[in-house]
């Protein structure tokens, strides 16, 4: 199962996320849940990098299937929209595949 954690501050703003694990929906290379999560996460990271001035720390550990992003500075409204779009996409993916993707929210 893939586990996603959305990190929010006390004002409810998303300040980072972490995904880990393989979904297990199908064999490697054919797993549409894993592909959906990967696409959402990588697109969000790339979009923040290309379209905003927000500084983030990104950790990717392919061996353990972990990707983590933490907003460090210059968070903008655009960054919040991109992070909320990630949360929406993950939530919708999980709703249709609850045995393969879990999402939790943690206040930091």
Catalogue all structural domains in the chain, each as residue range(s) with its CATH number. 2-107 (3.30.70.1490)
Cα separation of 107 and 35, whole Å?
27
Q: pLDDT tens digits for the chain (108 residues)?
A: 999 999 999 999 999 999 999 999 999 889 999 999 999 999 999 999 999 999 999 999 998 899 999 999 988 999 999 999 999 999 999 999 999 999 999 999
Q: Taking Cα atoms as reference points, which of 31, 34, 58 lies closest to residue 47?
A: 58
| pLDDT recorded at residue 29 | 87
Look at residue 21 and give its three-state secondary structure. Answer: coil
Structure tokens, 39: 């696409």
How does strand 55-61 pair with strand 66-73? Answer: antiparallel
pTM of the predicted model, to two decimals?
0.94
């Amino acid at each position: 199962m893939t586990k996603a954690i959305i990190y929010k501050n006390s004002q409810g703003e998303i300040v980072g996320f972490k995904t880990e694990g393989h979904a297990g929906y199908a064999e490697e290379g054919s797993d549409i849940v894993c592909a959906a999560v990967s696409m959402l996460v990588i697109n969000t990271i790339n979009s923040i990098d290309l379209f905003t001035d927000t500084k983030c720390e990104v950790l990717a550990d392919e061996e353990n299937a972990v990707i983590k992003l933490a907003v460090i500075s210059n968070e903008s409204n655009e960054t919040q929209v991109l992070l909320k779009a990630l949360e929406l996409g993950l939530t919708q993916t999980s709703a249709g595949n609850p045995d393969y993707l879990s999402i939790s929210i943690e206040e930091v």
